[in-house]
Chains A and B, each alone.
Chain A
Amino acid sequence: MDLENTKAQMRKGILEYCILSVLSRNSCYASDIIRELKEAKVIVVEGTLYPLLTRQKNAGLLSYRWEESQQGPPRKYYELTAEGREYLTDLDRSWDELVESVNLIRTR
């Protein structure tokens, strides 16, 4: 068994869920998402975020639009699609179930 690998696998699933949760509140650009994920300590290196965002966008969960920015070049703002919201609702439910199951086992 490889502890680091197990941890990484755990984090990976959670990260996808967290990205969708951050975006469920309002549309963000990548650096906003990163700030939130870093505050919550669910992301180690920022480079992990970008392939996930692109994959979620390709899967139809996210869409993006370009917005002008005062500080620099235009920014890509991501938001959840209807499909993404549905997906997130499913994930919310399964997360609650998962926490419940794990707690049940741990506190037995």
Chain B
Amino acid sequence: MKITLSINLGGYSFNIDEDAYAELKRYLKNLELHFAGEDSSSEILSDIESRMGELFRARLTSYKQVITMDDVRYAISVLGTPEDISDNEGASAREKFSSRGYHRMYRDPDQRIIGGVCAGMGAYWRIEPWLVRIIFFILAMMGGLGILLYLILWVVIPEAKTTAQKIEMKGEPVNIHNIKDSVKKEFDTVTKKMKL
């Protein structure tokens, strides 16, 4: 037995297995990132979603009414991954989508205890966040300087909200491969949380 979800893809409505849905969502997210540099990226995506709807529709019969992982994999192989698509666009396009390895300080919402300041500093300097926390704690004990400093940094340092920012926080270059890894990690945690 499996849980199915109900989705609207390019104007068609489908029942889709939970795991197939996660895969589909990941794929569409990757495409969205791939086309982020285009002028009409949302238009391209909605065209692709319509085509995907057609491909799914053609795989359904009166005996088979649910979109499975196989159907999603089939549609991805027909439409192509962002890598396949950029291969066909030539190397110039491939380079356009990967930027240099920016390294910025962000607050890390995933590892936070209070505001994610120490976790973010730890990620930036590549040290254990607990070391940073201990230093802040000691400073806080000595006349409250640590508390004031923490509050200022909380306001000043932006939170890493997007996947690209989370990669920048760790100082890795932002490209489609890294983003894919991070998005996969995020999905895995979400799936785990759902099961608990």
A85 at the interface (CB under 8 A from B): no
The count of residues in chain B whose C-beta lies closer than 8 Å to any C-beta of chain A is: 29
Tell me whether A45 and B85 are in contact in the complex, defined as CB-CB below 8 angstroms, given that A54-B38, A72-B54, A72-B57 are known contacts. Answer: yes
Chain A residue at smallest Cβ distance from B91:
A5
Tell me whether A51 and B38 are in contact in the complex, defined as CB-CB below 8 angstroms, given that A30-B47, A44-B84, A72-B12 are known contacts. Answer: yes
Tell me whether A50 and B88 are in contact in the complex, defined as CB-CB below 8 angstroms, given that A72-B12, A72-B53 are known contacts. Answer: no
Contact yes or no, A54 B12, CB < 8 A: no
Please classify the interface of chain A as helix (H, G, I), strand (E, B), loop, or mixed, using the class held by over half of its residues. Answer: helix
Looking at the assembled complex, report how far the CB atom of B93 sits from the nearest CB atom of chain A, in whole angstroms: 9
Q: Which of A11, A51, A73 lies at the interface centre, i.e. has the most chain B CB atoms within 10 A of its CB?
A: A51
Inter-chain CA distance A48–B12, complex, in Å, is 22
Contact of B88 among A44, A55, A58, A74 (CB under 8 A): A44
Mask for A64-86, Cβ within 8 A of B = 1, else 0?
Answer: 00000001111110000000000
Q: Which residues of A contact B39 (CB under 8 A)?
A: 54, 58
Tell me whether A8 and B79 are in contact in the complex, defined as CB-CB below 8 angstroms, given that A45-B85, A46-B51, A51-B44 are known contacts. Answer: no
Q: Which residues of A contact B84 (CB under 8 A)?
A: 44-45, 47
A contact residues, range? 20 to 34
Contact yes or no, A47 B79, CB < 8 A: yes
Q: Which of B22-59 contact A (CB under 8 A)?
A: 31, 35, 38-40, 43-44, 47-48, 50-51, 53-54, 57
Q: Which residues of B contact A89 (CB under 8 A)?
A: none
A–B Cβ pairs within 8 angstroms, 15 of them: A8-B88, A8-B91, A30-B50, A43-B88, A47-B31, A47-B84, A50-B48, A51-B38, A51-B44, A54-B40, A54-B44, A54-B47, A55-B38, A58-B39, A72-B12
In the A-B complex, the 7 residue pairs with the closest CB atoms = A45-B80, A73-B11, A47-B80, A47-B79, A48-B88, A47-B85, A50-B47
Binding site for B on A (CB under 8 A): 2, 4-5, 8-9, 11-12, 15, 30-31, 34, 43-48, 50-51, 53-55, 58, 71-76
